[in-house]
């Protein structure tokens, strides 16, 4: 039998070897949205080594080969930054990408990378951008709500069961996302000028803003942007002009952002019905990680969001959180789990609460019916909000 002193020494030696081995591991994670992507590389202890920015990586828009080439180029840039030889692949890379919601196409992307770029990584984990965002900030489950160019929501219960809402693209879905907001504004203008349907508020700001942004003299001039030379990201960026309109108290811009907020709240309401009680009864209620540029205009959305949640009477308490770091870290965490590389993940420091709703503390509100029959509150109470 080994003496205690010998056992202690052997344990120390094994720990030292394990630590050395962990430091030699290189794990990558890619956050891929509809406009840009980010790669982060960690060592086996979870220490961030480098970060690389790149173009968007949605295979539905690019095709598998180009998507794989862009991912590989980012990985090779990261390896160069760290002095890793081109012939030495990373141990595993997690890919949390926009458009990666189907197992079949996810497997095709992984096969394309392995076959055409064998030196980039030994193994991959491919998942949606929603999963990467959720795993960056929540360990035991919750909801992630994405409202960037498009929109998407995903629930993960503590037992690993998943449910999604939205994420069907700009034709079949993406309600509340930047493209939807921009398109909504343009449609209001077109229908109002045609006399087909009167806009809910005057188009006096939005119509000139459209002409300026799209460099158009009349409505026909905008059609190539939506058809012949369609560019979803360029159209979605018009939302920034609408946010400026909100800053100037333009009623139509404010109305559109309120509508977007109500639709995003409906994503949460739909998924909350399938959430386990463990998530609903946790401190702070149901946790929702919110990702995307649309949430930068939260101050114009919170009343519409809070009223929709309150009036539907499905959610008793919830907390909205924003990531304080890139969701590429969540992709790294998934890759680390794939190769059984455990390290402490700082979930709490990866997020911060910016909105808290509690039905018991929500006062009775007086509602006013607008001419388009949407109810808005005259006195919305929100608390626990940080700037």
Model confidence pLDDT, tens digit, residues 146-159: 998 889 899 999 99
| Pair of tokens at residue 165 | 């809402």
Distance CA 250, CA 243 (A): 10
Whether the predicted pLDDT of 66 surpasses 60: yes
Model confidence pLDDT, tens digit, residues 45-56: 999 999 999 998
356 within 8 A of 385, measured Cβ to Cβ: yes
Give percent of the chain with pLDDT exceeding 70: 87
Distances (CA, A) of 270 to 26, 138, 154, 313: 39, 20, 10, 12
Q: Which DSSP state fits 90? A: B
Model confidence pLDDT, tens digit, residues 206-253: 999 999 999 988 899 899 889 999 988 899 999 999 999 999 999 999
Model confidence pLDDT, tens digit, residues 259-317: 999 999 999 999 999 999 999 999 999 999 998 899 999 999 999 999 999 999 999 99
pLDDT for position 387: 25
pLDDT for position 22: 64
98 within 8 A of 105, measured Cβ to Cβ: no
Give percent of the chain with pLDDT exceeding 90: 68
Whether the predicted pLDDT of 103 surpasses 50: yes
Higher pLDDT, residue 161 or 140: 161
Whether the predicted pLDDT of 9 surpasses 80: no
- CATH numbers and ranges of domains, the chain: 4-136+326-347 (3.30.420.40), 169-324+350-377 (3.30.420.40)
Average pLDDT over residues 99-113: 91
Average pLDDT over residues 194-203: 96
Neighbour count for residue 229 (Cβ, 10 Å): 9
Higher pLDDT, residue 16 or 54: 54
CB-neighbour burial class of residue 63 (10 A; exposed 0-12, middle 13-18, buried 19+): exposed
Q: Which of 10-24, 31-45, 86-100, 178-192 has the highest mean pLDDT?
A: 178-192
Model confidence pLDDT, tens digit, residues 163-196: 999 988 888 989 999 999 999 999 999 999 999 9
Task: Report the DSSP pairing between strands 92-97 and 48-55.
Answer: unpaired
Distance CA 255, CA 268 (A): 20
């Amino acid at each position: 039998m080994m003496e205690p002193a010998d056992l202690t020494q052997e344990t120390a030696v094994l720990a030292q070897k394990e630590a050395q081995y962990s430091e030699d591991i290189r794990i990558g994670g890619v956050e891929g949205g509809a406009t840009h992507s980010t790669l982060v590389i960690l060592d086996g202890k979870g220490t961030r080594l480098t970060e690389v920015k790149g173009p968007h990586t949605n295979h539905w828009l690019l095709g598998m080969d180009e998507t794989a080439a862009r991912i590989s180029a980012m990985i090779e840039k990261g390896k160069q930054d760290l002095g890793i030889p081109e012939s030495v692949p990373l141990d595993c890379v997690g890919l949390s990408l926009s458009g990666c919601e189907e197992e079949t196409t996810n497997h095709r992307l992984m096969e394309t990378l392995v076959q055409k770029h064998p030196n980039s990584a030994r193994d991959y984990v491919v998942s949606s951008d929603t999963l990467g965002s959720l795993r960056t900030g929540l360990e035991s489950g919750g909801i992630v709500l994405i409202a960037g160019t498009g929109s998407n929501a995903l629930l993960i219960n503590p037992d690993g069961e998943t449910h999604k809402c939205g994420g069907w693209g700009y034709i079949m879905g993406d309600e509340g996302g930047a493209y939807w907001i921009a398109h909504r504004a343009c449609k209001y203008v077109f229908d109002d000028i045609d006399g087909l349907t009167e806009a809910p508020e005057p188009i006096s700001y939005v119509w000139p803003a459209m002409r300026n942004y799209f460099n158009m003299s009349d409505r026909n001039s905008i059609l190539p942007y939506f058809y012949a030379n369609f560019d979803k990201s360029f159209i979605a960026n018009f939302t920034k002009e609408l946010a400026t309109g909100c800053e100037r108290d333009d009623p139509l811009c404010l109305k559109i952002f309120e509508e977007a907020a109500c639709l995003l709240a409906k994503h949460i309401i739909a998924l909350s019905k399938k959430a386990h009680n463990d998530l609903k009864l946790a401190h702070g209620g149901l946790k929702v990680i919110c990702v995307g540029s649309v949430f930068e205009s939260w101050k114009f959305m919170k009343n519409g969001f809070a009223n929709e949640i309150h009036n539907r009477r499905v959610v008793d308490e919830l907390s909205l959180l924003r990531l304080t770091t890139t969701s590429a870290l969540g992709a790294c965490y998934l890759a680390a789990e794939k190769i059984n590389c455990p390290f402490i993940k700082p979930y709490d420091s990866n997020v911060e609460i910016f909105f808290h709703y509690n039905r018991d503390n929500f006062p009775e509100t007086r509602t006013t019916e607008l001419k388009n029959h949407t109810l808005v509150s005259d006195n919305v109470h929100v608390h626990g909000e940080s700037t």
